[in-house]
Protein backbone atom coordinates (compact mmCIF):
# COMPACT_ATOMS: atom_id res chain seq x y z
CA UNK A 1 0.00 0.00 0.00
CA UNK A 2 1.36 3.43 -0.81
CA UNK A 3 1.78 5.94 1.99
CA UNK A 4 -1.29 8.02 1.09
CA UNK A 5 -3.54 4.99 0.90
CA UNK A 6 -2.10 3.59 4.13
CA UNK A 7 -2.80 6.84 5.96
CA UNK A 8 -6.32 6.96 4.56
CA UNK A 9 -6.82 3.37 5.68
CA UNK A 10 -5.70 4.16 9.24
CA UNK A 11 -7.58 7.42 9.59
CA UNK A 12 -10.82 5.88 8.38
CA UNK A 13 -10.44 3.13 10.93
CA UNK A 14 -9.68 5.69 13.65
CA UNK A 15 -12.73 7.74 12.68
CA UNK A 16 -14.92 4.66 12.80
CA UNK A 17 -13.71 3.98 16.34
CA UNK A 18 -14.25 7.55 17.53
CA UNK A 19 -17.65 8.33 16.06
CA UNK A 20 -18.88 4.75 16.15
CA UNK A 21 -19.80 2.88 13.02
CA UNK A 22 -23.33 1.95 12.10
CA UNK A 23 -21.93 -1.44 11.20
CA UNK A 24 -20.32 -4.25 13.16
CA UNK A 25 -21.11 -6.48 16.04
CA UNK A 26 -21.88 -3.82 18.66
CA UNK A 27 -25.16 -2.79 17.02
CA UNK A 28 -28.49 -4.36 17.97
CA UNK A 29 -29.60 -6.52 15.06
CA UNK A 30 -33.01 -7.20 13.66
CA UNK A 31 -33.80 -10.85 13.23
CA UNK A 32 -35.61 -10.52 9.92
CA UNK A 33 -34.53 -9.08 6.56
CA UNK A 34 -35.83 -8.84 3.02
CA UNK A 35 -32.54 -10.26 1.74
CA UNK A 36 -29.87 -12.10 3.69
CA UNK A 37 -26.50 -12.43 1.99
CA UNK A 38 -24.14 -15.08 3.37
CA UNK A 39 -20.56 -13.94 2.78
CA UNK A 40 -18.83 -10.56 2.54
CA UNK A 41 -16.40 -11.52 -0.21
CA UNK A 42 -16.37 -10.36 -3.82
CA UNK A 43 -19.75 -11.96 -4.68
CA UNK A 44 -21.59 -11.07 -1.48
CA UNK A 45 -20.55 -7.41 -1.52
CA UNK A 46 -21.27 -6.85 -5.23
CA UNK A 47 -24.81 -8.12 -4.71
CA UNK A 48 -25.44 -6.57 -1.28
CA UNK A 49 -24.30 -3.11 -2.45
CA UNK A 50 -26.84 -2.85 -5.25
CA UNK A 51 -29.66 -4.51 -3.31
CA UNK A 52 -29.21 -2.32 -0.23
CA UNK A 53 -29.09 0.84 -2.39
CA UNK A 54 -32.28 -0.26 -4.17
CA UNK A 55 -34.21 -1.60 -1.18
CA UNK A 56 -33.11 1.00 1.39
CA UNK A 57 -31.72 0.95 4.93
CA UNK A 58 -31.65 -2.36 6.77
CA UNK A 59 -33.55 -4.40 4.19
CA UNK A 60 -30.35 -6.31 3.51
CA UNK A 61 -28.05 -8.13 5.95
CA UNK A 62 -24.60 -9.52 5.21
CA UNK A 63 -23.40 -12.34 7.45
CA UNK A 64 -19.61 -12.66 7.67
CA UNK A 65 -17.36 -13.31 10.69
CA UNK A 66 -14.18 -11.82 9.13
CA UNK A 67 -12.58 -8.59 10.32
CA UNK A 68 -10.72 -8.18 7.05
CA UNK A 69 -11.78 -8.35 3.39
CA UNK A 70 -9.01 -9.49 1.03
CA UNK A 71 -8.66 -8.86 -2.69
CA UNK A 72 -7.09 -12.27 -3.21
CA UNK A 73 -6.30 -11.91 -6.93
CA UNK A 74 -3.45 -9.64 -5.78
CA UNK A 75 -1.76 -12.43 -3.82
CA UNK A 76 0.17 -13.79 -6.83
CA UNK A 77 1.76 -10.33 -7.14
CA UNK A 78 2.36 -10.19 -3.37
CA UNK A 79 4.07 -13.61 -3.46
CA UNK A 80 6.42 -12.24 -6.12
CA UNK A 81 7.15 -8.99 -4.28
CA UNK A 82 5.40 -6.94 -6.99
CA UNK A 83 2.65 -5.63 -4.66
CA UNK A 84 2.49 -5.29 -0.88
CA UNK A 85 0.19 -7.42 1.27
CA UNK A 86 -1.42 -4.27 2.68
CA UNK A 87 -2.67 -3.35 -0.79
CA UNK A 88 -4.74 -6.55 -0.82
CA UNK A 89 -6.74 -5.83 2.34
CA UNK A 90 -9.36 -3.53 3.80
CA UNK A 91 -11.19 -3.67 7.14
CA UNK A 92 -14.56 -5.36 6.58
CA UNK A 93 -16.25 -2.36 8.23
CA UNK A 94 -14.91 -0.14 5.43
CA UNK A 95 -16.16 -2.22 2.52
CA UNK A 96 -19.56 -3.14 3.97
CA UNK A 97 -22.32 -1.33 2.04
CA UNK A 98 -23.55 1.73 3.95
CA UNK A 99 -27.21 0.70 3.95
CA UNK A 100 -26.71 -2.99 4.74
CA UNK A 101 -26.52 -4.48 8.24
CA UNK A 102 -23.34 -6.42 8.91
CA UNK A 103 -23.96 -9.46 11.10
CA UNK A 104 -20.47 -10.33 12.29
CA UNK A 105 -20.95 -14.02 12.89
CA UNK A 106 -20.79 -17.29 11.01
CA UNK A 107 -23.62 -19.42 9.74
CA UNK A 108 -24.02 -22.74 11.56
CA UNK A 109 -26.94 -24.10 9.52
CA UNK A 110 -29.61 -23.34 6.93
CA UNK A 111 -33.36 -24.10 7.24
CA UNK A 112 -34.57 -23.24 3.73
CA UNK A 113 -38.04 -24.66 4.38
CA UNK A 114 -38.46 -22.13 7.21
CA UNK A 115 -36.58 -19.30 5.46
CA UNK A 116 -34.09 -19.01 8.30
CA UNK A 117 -30.38 -19.36 8.94
CA UNK A 118 -28.96 -20.17 12.36
CA UNK A 119 -25.78 -18.43 13.47
CA UNK A 120 -22.87 -19.88 15.44
CA UNK A 121 -24.13 -17.98 18.53
CA UNK A 122 -27.54 -19.70 18.22
CA UNK A 123 -29.44 -16.65 16.86
CA UNK A 124 -31.95 -17.30 14.11
CA UNK A 125 -32.19 -14.84 11.20
CA UNK A 126 -35.14 -15.00 8.82
CA UNK A 127 -35.32 -13.79 5.25
CA UNK A 128 -37.61 -13.42 2.27
CA UNK A 129 -34.69 -14.07 -0.10
CA UNK A 130 -31.32 -15.68 0.55
CA UNK A 131 -28.09 -15.19 -1.43
CA UNK A 132 -25.31 -17.66 -0.66
CA UNK A 133 -21.86 -16.29 -1.52
CA UNK A 134 -19.72 -18.06 1.06
CA UNK A 135 -16.66 -18.82 -1.08
CA UNK A 136 -14.57 -21.97 -1.09
CA UNK A 137 -12.94 -23.84 1.79
CA UNK A 138 -9.20 -24.47 1.58
CA UNK A 139 -8.53 -27.85 3.20
CA UNK A 140 -5.00 -27.33 4.58
CA UNK A 141 -5.32 -30.35 6.86
CA UNK A 142 -5.84 -32.75 3.95
CA UNK A 143 -2.09 -32.68 3.24
CA UNK A 144 -0.25 -34.47 6.02
CA UNK A 145 2.03 -32.11 8.00
CA UNK A 146 1.13 -29.05 5.91
CA UNK A 147 -0.49 -26.98 8.72
CA UNK A 148 2.65 -27.21 10.89
CA UNK A 149 5.19 -26.79 8.04
CA UNK A 150 3.55 -23.92 6.15
CA UNK A 151 5.67 -20.77 6.23
CA UNK A 152 8.80 -22.65 7.40
CA UNK A 153 11.91 -24.08 5.74
CA UNK A 154 10.95 -23.33 2.17
CA UNK A 155 7.30 -24.48 2.35
CA UNK A 156 4.85 -21.77 1.33
CA UNK A 157 1.53 -20.96 -0.35
CA UNK A 158 0.07 -17.88 -2.03
CA UNK A 159 -3.37 -19.07 -0.88
CA UNK A 160 -3.03 -18.05 2.80
CA UNK A 161 -2.92 -14.54 4.26
CA UNK A 162 -0.18 -15.58 6.66
CA UNK A 163 2.10 -17.33 4.18
CA UNK A 164 1.78 -15.28 0.97
CA UNK A 165 4.63 -12.94 1.96
CA UNK A 166 6.79 -15.99 2.81
CA UNK A 167 6.71 -16.97 -0.86
CA UNK A 168 8.70 -13.89 -1.80
CA UNK A 169 10.98 -14.32 1.22
CA UNK A 170 11.77 -17.96 0.35
CA UNK A 171 12.17 -17.24 -3.39
CA UNK A 172 14.74 -14.54 -2.56
CA UNK A 173 16.58 -16.76 -0.04
CA UNK A 174 16.70 -19.76 -2.42
CA UNK A 175 20.21 -20.78 -3.44
CA UNK A 176 19.33 -23.45 -6.03
CA UNK A 177 18.14 -27.06 -5.79
CA UNK A 178 14.72 -28.63 -6.27
CA UNK A 179 11.73 -26.31 -6.53
CA UNK A 180 8.28 -27.93 -6.60
CA UNK A 181 4.93 -26.26 -7.35
CA UNK A 182 1.70 -28.18 -6.78
CA UNK A 183 -1.92 -27.99 -7.94
CA UNK A 184 -4.57 -30.37 -6.53
CA UNK A 185 -7.10 -32.44 -8.48
CA UNK A 186 -10.12 -30.80 -6.80
CA UNK A 187 -11.81 -27.64 -8.12
CA UNK A 188 -9.93 -24.60 -6.75
CA UNK A 189 -10.30 -20.83 -6.88
CA UNK A 190 -8.22 -19.26 -9.65
CA UNK A 191 -7.02 -22.41 -11.37
CA UNK A 192 -4.12 -20.49 -12.96
CA UNK A 193 -2.55 -19.31 -9.70
CA UNK A 194 -0.52 -22.49 -8.97
CA UNK A 195 1.45 -22.06 -12.20
CA UNK A 196 1.66 -18.25 -12.02
CA UNK A 197 3.69 -18.68 -8.80
CA UNK A 198 6.13 -20.86 -10.75
CA UNK A 199 6.60 -18.45 -13.68
CA UNK A 200 7.36 -15.56 -11.33
CA UNK A 201 9.79 -17.56 -9.16
CA UNK A 202 11.61 -18.92 -12.22
CA UNK A 203 12.11 -15.41 -13.54
CA UNK A 204 13.57 -14.26 -10.21
CA UNK A 205 15.97 -17.23 -10.05
CA UNK A 206 17.05 -16.61 -13.65
CA UNK A 207 17.74 -12.95 -12.86
CA UNK A 208 19.64 -13.98 -9.71
CA UNK A 209 21.94 -16.19 -11.81
CA UNK A 210 21.00 -19.46 -10.07
CA UNK A 211 18.73 -20.90 -12.74
CA UNK A 212 21.30 -23.50 -13.90
CA UNK A 213 21.50 -24.84 -10.33
CA UNK A 214 17.71 -25.16 -10.09
CA UNK A 215 15.30 -27.93 -11.14
CA UNK A 216 11.73 -26.74 -11.43
CA UNK A 217 8.84 -29.20 -11.41
CA UNK A 218 5.11 -28.51 -11.64
CA UNK A 219 2.78 -31.19 -10.26
CA UNK A 220 -0.87 -31.03 -11.26
CA UNK A 221 -3.67 -33.39 -10.30
CA UNK A 222 -5.21 -32.78 -13.71
CA UNK A 223 -4.29 -34.10 -17.15
CA UNK A 224 -3.85 -30.67 -18.79
CA UNK A 225 -1.97 -27.49 -17.96
CA UNK A 226 -5.07 -25.35 -18.62
CA UNK A 227 -8.67 -26.26 -19.46
CA UNK A 228 -8.84 -24.20 -22.67
CA UNK A 229 -6.35 -25.26 -25.37
CA UNK A 230 -6.00 -21.82 -26.95
CA UNK A 231 -4.23 -20.68 -23.76
CA UNK A 232 -2.90 -24.10 -22.68
CA UNK A 233 -0.89 -24.46 -25.91
CA UNK A 234 0.87 -21.13 -25.31
CA UNK A 235 1.57 -22.06 -21.70
CA UNK A 236 3.10 -25.37 -22.82
CA UNK A 237 5.43 -23.45 -25.15
CA UNK A 238 6.48 -21.19 -22.27
CA UNK A 239 7.15 -24.20 -20.00
CA UNK A 240 9.26 -25.82 -22.72
CA UNK A 241 11.26 -22.67 -23.47
CA UNK A 242 11.89 -22.03 -19.78
CA UNK A 243 12.66 -25.67 -18.91
CA UNK A 244 9.76 -26.15 -16.51
CA UNK A 245 8.84 -29.84 -16.18
CA UNK A 246 5.15 -30.64 -15.99
CA UNK A 247 3.94 -33.77 -14.16
CA UNK A 248 0.27 -34.65 -14.75
CA UNK A 249 -2.13 -36.64 -12.54
CA UNK A 250 -0.06 -36.11 -9.39
CA UNK A 251 -1.68 -35.12 -6.11
CA UNK A 252 0.45 -33.96 -3.15
CA UNK A 253 -0.56 -35.96 -0.04
CA UNK A 254 2.22 -35.50 2.49
CA UNK A 255 5.17 -33.32 3.43
CA UNK A 256 8.05 -34.86 5.39
CA UNK A 257 9.66 -31.81 6.97
CA UNK A 258 12.56 -33.71 8.61
CA UNK A 259 13.90 -35.08 5.33
CA UNK A 260 12.42 -32.21 3.23
CA UNK A 261 10.48 -34.57 0.98
CA UNK A 262 7.11 -34.28 -0.75
CA UNK A 263 4.93 -37.35 -1.33
CA UNK A 264 2.57 -37.54 -4.31
CA UNK A 265 -0.18 -40.00 -5.22
CA UNK A 266 -0.26 -40.78 -8.92
CA UNK A 267 -3.93 -40.71 -9.88
CA UNK A 268 -3.82 -41.29 -13.66
CA UNK A 269 -1.67 -42.53 -16.54
CA UNK A 270 0.61 -45.63 -16.61
CA UNK A 271 1.69 -45.44 -12.98
CA UNK A 272 -1.78 -44.85 -11.57
CA UNK A 273 -2.06 -46.06 -7.97
CA UNK A 274 1.65 -45.65 -7.15
CA UNK A 275 3.42 -42.99 -5.09
CA UNK A 276 6.30 -40.65 -5.79
CA UNK A 277 8.57 -39.15 -3.12
CA UNK A 278 10.83 -36.24 -4.05
CA UNK A 279 13.22 -34.00 -2.13
CA UNK A 280 12.49 -30.27 -2.14
CA UNK A 281 14.38 -27.11 -1.27
CA UNK A 282 11.42 -24.88 -2.14
CA UNK A 283 7.79 -26.07 -2.16
CA UNK A 284 4.79 -23.93 -3.20
CA UNK A 285 1.62 -25.77 -2.15
CA UNK A 286 -1.94 -25.34 -3.34
CA UNK A 287 -4.09 -27.57 -1.10
CA UNK A 288 -7.29 -29.38 -2.08
CA UNK A 289 -10.43 -27.26 -1.76
CA UNK A 290 -14.14 -27.97 -1.36
CA UNK A 291 -17.47 -26.37 -0.63
CA UNK A 292 -17.57 -25.04 2.96
CA UNK A 293 -18.64 -27.71 5.49
CA UNK A 294 -21.72 -25.74 6.63
CA UNK A 295 -22.99 -25.76 3.03
CA UNK A 296 -22.04 -29.38 2.30
CA UNK A 297 -24.12 -30.56 5.25
CA UNK A 298 -27.17 -28.45 4.30
CA UNK A 299 -30.24 -29.02 2.14
CA UNK A 300 -28.90 -26.39 -0.25
CA UNK A 301 -26.06 -28.63 -1.46
CA UNK A 302 -25.92 -30.86 -4.53
CA UNK A 303 -24.24 -34.29 -4.36
CA UNK A 304 -20.78 -32.65 -4.64
CA UNK A 305 -21.49 -30.17 -1.84
CA UNK A 306 -21.93 -26.99 -3.91
CA UNK A 307 -25.06 -24.79 -3.68
CA UNK A 308 -27.33 -26.36 -6.26
CA UNK A 309 -28.32 -23.56 -8.63
CA UNK A 310 -29.62 -23.31 -12.19
CA UNK A 311 -26.62 -22.51 -14.38
CA UNK A 312 -28.48 -19.84 -16.38
CA UNK A 313 -30.51 -17.99 -13.75
CA UNK A 314 -28.43 -18.68 -10.57
CA UNK A 315 -31.66 -19.55 -8.77
CA UNK A 316 -31.63 -22.60 -6.47
CA UNK A 317 -33.00 -25.73 -8.10
CA UNK A 318 -35.25 -26.59 -5.14
CA UNK A 319 -35.78 -23.39 -3.11
CA UNK A 320 -37.01 -20.63 -5.40
CA UNK A 321 -36.20 -17.76 -3.01
CA UNK A 322 -32.54 -18.81 -2.77
CA UNK A 323 -29.73 -17.74 -5.13
CA UNK A 324 -26.00 -18.39 -5.15
CA UNK A 325 -22.93 -17.10 -6.96
CA UNK A 326 -19.17 -17.43 -6.86
CA UNK A 327 -16.95 -20.20 -5.58
CA UNK A 328 -19.52 -22.01 -3.38
CA UNK A 329 -22.08 -22.30 -6.20
CA UNK A 330 -22.54 -25.31 -8.48
CA UNK A 331 -22.09 -23.07 -11.58
CA UNK A 332 -19.99 -25.23 -13.94
CA UNK A 333 -17.35 -22.66 -14.83
CA UNK A 334 -13.97 -21.86 -13.31
CA UNK A 335 -14.02 -20.08 -9.98
CA UNK A 336 -12.65 -16.53 -10.34
CA UNK A 337 -13.46 -12.97 -9.27
CA UNK A 338 -13.91 -12.16 -12.96
CA UNK A 339 -16.65 -14.80 -13.23
CA UNK A 340 -18.43 -13.11 -10.34
CA UNK A 341 -18.60 -9.81 -12.27
CA UNK A 342 -20.89 -11.44 -14.82
CA UNK A 343 -22.71 -13.67 -12.32
CA UNK A 344 -23.59 -10.81 -9.96
CA UNK A 345 -25.25 -8.82 -12.76
CA UNK A 346 -27.44 -11.80 -13.66
CA UNK A 347 -28.28 -12.61 -10.05
CA UNK A 348 -29.26 -9.01 -9.21
CA UNK A 349 -31.47 -8.72 -12.28
CA UNK A 350 -33.28 -11.96 -11.50
CA UNK A 351 -33.63 -11.38 -7.78
CA UNK A 352 -34.90 -7.78 -8.18
CA UNK A 353 -37.30 -9.09 -10.79
CA UNK A 354 -38.68 -11.51 -8.16
CA UNK A 355 -38.90 -8.78 -5.52
CA UNK A 356 -40.53 -6.19 -7.80
CA UNK A 357 -42.82 -8.70 -9.46
CA UNK A 358 -42.39 -6.96 -12.81
CA UNK A 359 -42.19 -10.21 -14.73
CA UNK A 360 -39.19 -9.12 -16.82
CA UNK A 361 -37.40 -11.67 -18.98
CA UNK A 362 -34.86 -13.49 -16.75
CA UNK A 363 -31.22 -12.68 -17.36
CA UNK A 364 -28.96 -15.63 -18.21
CA UNK A 365 -25.33 -16.25 -17.25
CA UNK A 366 -23.18 -17.41 -20.17
CA UNK A 367 -20.37 -18.98 -18.11
CA UNK A 368 -17.95 -16.03 -18.61
CA UNK A 369 -14.75 -16.34 -16.60
CA UNK A 370 -11.24 -15.02 -16.88
CA UNK A 371 -7.80 -15.97 -15.67
CA UNK A 372 -5.03 -13.39 -15.94
CA UNK A 373 -2.05 -15.77 -16.31
CA UNK A 374 0.94 -13.78 -15.10
CA UNK A 375 3.94 -15.29 -16.86
CA UNK A 376 6.61 -12.82 -15.68
CA UNK A 377 7.08 -9.42 -14.09
CA UNK A 378 6.13 -7.72 -17.38
CA UNK A 379 4.02 -10.29 -19.21
CA UNK A 380 0.57 -11.83 -18.98
CA UNK A 381 -1.78 -14.05 -20.99
CA UNK A 382 -5.34 -12.84 -20.37
CA UNK A 383 -7.49 -15.94 -20.75
CA UNK A 384 -11.17 -15.00 -21.06
CA UNK A 385 -13.68 -17.68 -21.99
CA UNK A 386 -17.03 -19.27 -21.28
CA UNK A 387 -16.70 -22.24 -18.95
CA UNK A 388 -19.97 -23.47 -20.48
CA UNK A 389 -18.89 -23.63 -24.12
CA UNK A 390 -15.08 -23.61 -23.75
CA UNK A 391 -14.99 -20.78 -26.32
CA UNK A 392 -12.77 -17.71 -25.80
CA UNK A 393 -14.67 -14.48 -24.96
CA UNK A 394 -11.87 -11.93 -25.26
CA UNK A 395 -12.41 -8.25 -24.46
CA UNK A 396 -9.67 -6.73 -26.59
CA UNK A 397 -9.25 -6.73 -30.37
CA UNK A 398 -5.94 -8.65 -30.30
CA UNK A 399 -5.00 -12.26 -29.63
CA UNK A 400 -4.99 -12.48 -25.83
CA UNK A 401 -3.28 -15.89 -25.84
CA UNK A 402 0.01 -14.10 -26.61
CA UNK A 403 2.00 -12.66 -23.72
CA UNK A 404 1.27 -8.95 -23.37
CA UNK A 405 2.56 -6.03 -21.30
CA UNK A 406 -0.72 -4.16 -21.75
CA UNK A 407 -2.83 -6.87 -20.10
CA UNK A 408 -0.13 -7.21 -17.42
CA UNK A 409 -0.50 -3.54 -16.51
CA UNK A 410 -4.29 -3.79 -16.72
CA UNK A 411 -4.31 -6.68 -14.24
CA UNK A 412 -1.74 -5.21 -11.88
CA UNK A 413 -2.92 -1.60 -11.79
CA UNK A 414 -6.38 -1.04 -13.29
CA UNK A 415 -8.39 -4.12 -12.31
CA UNK A 416 -7.66 -3.71 -8.56
CA UNK A 417 -8.98 -0.12 -8.83
CA UNK A 418 -12.09 -1.38 -10.63
CA UNK A 419 -12.51 -3.94 -7.86
CA UNK A 420 -12.31 -1.53 -4.89
CA UNK A 421 -14.06 1.44 -6.49
CA UNK A 422 -16.72 -0.28 -8.57
CA UNK A 423 -17.09 -4.05 -8.35
CA UNK A 424 -17.71 -4.38 -4.60
CA UNK A 425 -19.90 -1.26 -4.79
CA UNK A 426 -22.14 -3.10 -7.22
CA UNK A 427 -21.45 -0.93 -10.27
CA UNK A 428 -19.19 -3.20 -12.38
CA UNK A 429 -20.91 -5.84 -14.48
CA UNK A 430 -17.72 -7.16 -16.05
CA UNK A 431 -16.17 -6.35 -19.41
CA UNK A 432 -19.02 -7.64 -21.65
CA UNK A 433 -19.95 -4.15 -22.89
CA UNK A 434 -16.33 -3.36 -23.82
CA UNK A 435 -16.17 -6.64 -25.73
CA UNK A 436 -19.10 -5.41 -27.80
CA UNK A 437 -17.59 -1.93 -28.15
CA UNK A 438 -14.27 -3.31 -29.44
CA UNK A 439 -16.17 -5.67 -31.72
CA UNK A 440 -14.26 -8.61 -30.27
CA UNK A 441 -17.35 -10.62 -29.23
> Has 239 been annotated as catalytic?
no
Residue 432 near ligand UQ1 by CB under 6 A: no
Taking CB under 6 A as the rule, which mask of x and - marks residues 73-112 in contact with ligand UQ1? x---------------------------------------
Nearest approach in angstroms of CB 393 to ligand UQ1 is 10
Nearest approach in angstroms of CB 241 to ligand UQ1 is 25
Please, which residue, 235 or 423, has the CB nearer to ligand UQ1? 423
Nearest approach in angstroms of CB 160 to ligand UQ1 is 19
| Helices 42-55, 337-356: crossing angle, 10 deg rounding | 30
Please, which residue, 90 or 117, has the CB nearer to ligand UQ1? 90
Please, which residue, 388 or 396, has the CB nearer to ligand UQ1? 396
Nearest approach in angstroms of CB 419 to ligand UQ1 is 5
Nearest approach in angstroms of CB 411 to ligand UQ1 is 6
Q: What span, in angstroms and rounded, lies between the C-alpha atoms of 100 and 23? A: 8
Q: What span, in angstroms and rounded, lies between the C-alpha atoms of 285 and 297? A: 27
Residue 423: count of CB within 10 angstroms of its CB: 25
CA 28 to chain centre: 32
Nearest approach in angstroms of CB 425 to ligand UQ1 is 11
Please, which residue, 164 or 216, has the CB nearer to ligand UQ1? 164
Residue 341 near ligand UQ1 by CB under 6 A: yes
Could you say which of 193, 337, 345, 346 contacts ligand UQ1 (CB under 6 A)?
Answer: 337
Please, which residue, 219 or 385, has the CB nearer to ligand UQ1? 385
Residues 354-373 that bind ligand UQ1 (CB under 6 A): 370, 372
| Helices 193-207, 164-173: crossing angle, 10 deg rounding | 30
> Per CB under 6 A, which region of 9-17, 249-257, 349-357, 425-433 contacts ligand UQ1?
425-433
The single residue of 38, 246, 289, 371 carrying the catalytic annotation is 371
Q: What span, in angstroms and rounded, lies between the C-alpha atoms of 425 and 97? A: 7
Q: What span, in angstroms and rounded, lies between the C-alpha atoms of 425 and 96? A: 9
Please, which residue, 1 or 418, has the CB nearer to ligand UQ1? 418
Please, which residue, 172 or 433, has the CB nearer to ligand UQ1? 433
The single residue of 190, 197, 423, 424 carrying the catalytic annotation is 190
| Rounded (10°) CA dihedral 400, 402, 407, 412 | 130
Residue 234: count of CB within 10 angstroms of its CB: 21
Taking CB under 6 A as the rule, which mask of x and - marks residues 40-79 in contact with ligand UQ1? ---------------------------------x------
Residue 415 near ligand UQ1 by CB under 6 A: yes
Please, which residue, 221 or 430, has the CB nearer to ligand UQ1? 430
> Per CB under 6 A, which region of 213-221, 230-238, 261-269, 337-345 contacts ligand UQ1?
337-345
Q: Is 166:296 a contact under the CB 8 Å cutoff? A: no
Nearest approach in angstroms of CB 46 to ligand UQ1 is 9
Total of residues contacting ligand UQ1 (CB under 6 A): 14
Could you say which of 127, 199, 218, 419 contacts ligand UQ1 (CB under 6 A)?
Answer: 419
Q: Is 369:357 a contact under the CB 8 Å cutoff? A: no
Residue 190 near ligand UQ1 by CB under 6 A: no
> Has 328 been annotated as catalytic?
no
Nearest approach in angstroms of CB 190 to ligand UQ1 is 9
Q: What are the φ/ψ torsions at residue 68 (nearest 5 degrees)?
A: -125, 140
Q: What span, in angstroms and rounded, lies between the C-alpha atoms of 441 and 424? A: 25
> Per CB under 6 A, which region of 14-22, 251-259, 349-357, 427-435 contacts ligand UQ1?
427-435
Residue 431 near ligand UQ1 by CB under 6 A: yes
- DSSP strand pairing (214-220 vs 245-247): parallel
**Residue ranges that bind ligand UQ1, judged by CB under 6 A:** 73, 337-338, 341, 370, 372, 395, 415, 418-419, 423, 428, 430-431
Active site positions, annotated: 190, 371
Amino acid sequence: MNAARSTAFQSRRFLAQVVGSNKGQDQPKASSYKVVVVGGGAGGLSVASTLSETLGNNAVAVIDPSDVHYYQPLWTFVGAGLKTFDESKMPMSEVMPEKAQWIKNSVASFSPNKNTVTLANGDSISYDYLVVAAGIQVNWGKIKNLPQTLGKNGVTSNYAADSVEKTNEFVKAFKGGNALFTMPSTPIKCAGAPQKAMYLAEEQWRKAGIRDKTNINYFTGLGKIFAIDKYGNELLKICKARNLNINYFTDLTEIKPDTKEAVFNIIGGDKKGSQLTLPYDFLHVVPPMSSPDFIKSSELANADGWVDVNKDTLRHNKFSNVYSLGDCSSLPTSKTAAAITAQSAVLKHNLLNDINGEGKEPSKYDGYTSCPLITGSETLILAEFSGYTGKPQETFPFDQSKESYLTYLLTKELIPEIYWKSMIKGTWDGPAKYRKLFGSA
